[in-house]
Amino acid sequence: MKKVRATGRTVEEAVRSALVKLGATRSQATVQVLQEPVKGLFGLLGAREAEVEVCVAATPEETARDFLVELLRHMGLDASVRVGARLDGDGISLEILCESEDLPVVIGRHGSTLDAMQYLTNVVVNQDRDVYIRVYVDAGDYRRRRQEGLLRMADRAALRAVRTKRPVAMDPMPSHDRKVVHTYLQERTDVTTTSEGTDPHRKVVVVPVVQSGPPRD
């Protein structure tokens, strides 16, 4: 919720002033008159202007961006947030813009800090909402680069499993990274995948599929 107080010679003048500051239209706003205008003696003495408080509900994009900016400020980072184009469905894409030396702090190990910020932003945006809106948070194009890296590692593990005919355990990774690997390798017919261990040490294991030969006479 965004709110602005404004004054004017009339209530309508005060409202127009507040709407300009908010960049909103009258139909989007809720107006509370705090003070009616009063004409003073001889038009001067004791005169009071009208005072209003105008509120406009923030959009999900504004809520997400404002929360993330404040969160980054509390982390001591000089960073800005850019709202990207809406993704498929009701998703919102946010990109954190910061100095290159701050990227490791923003991203964290295997994206852990970035994931935590994304989770918190989703919670804030979806408070009291009937329809869930998913928020995606990225920085330095990390998520695309991470996914490409995961697919390369999955390919190497699959090739090794097929070549050695033995299961190959990949490095421990978060659940969403494991999901990327499982989904990617399920298209192959020469390997299957499973997960072993407990978080945060849970890992994907690539298992070769034993091909049965033709029946013997």
* Better-predicted residue by pLDDT, 210 or 99: 99
**121 lies in some domain:** yes
Give the range of the structural domain holding residue 197, as residue numbers without chain letter.
145-208
Q: Label residue 54 exposed, middle or buried (CB < 10 Å: 0-12, 13-18, 19+).
A: buried
Residue 114, H or E segment: helix 112-125
Give the pLDDT confidence of 114-158 residue by residue, as tens digits.
999 999 999 999 988 888 888 999 999 999 999 999 999 999 999
- Both tokens of 196, joined, read 């072993």
pTM of the predicted structure, to 2 decimals: 0.67
What pLDDT digit, counting tens, does each position of 1-24 carry?
788 899 998 999 999 998 888 888
Please indicate, yes or no, whether residues 161 and 111 belong to a single structural domain of this protein: no
Cis status of the peptide bond prior to 200, with omega within 30 of 0: yes
Q: Summarize pLDDT for 64-82 with one digit per residue, the tens.
A: 999 999 999 999 998 999 9
Which of 56, 72, 97 finishes a domain? 56
Residue 95 forms part of a structural domain: yes
C-alpha to C-alpha distance for 53 and 21, rounded to whole angstroms:
12
d(CA 3, CA 27): 15
In a domain, 197, yes or no: yes
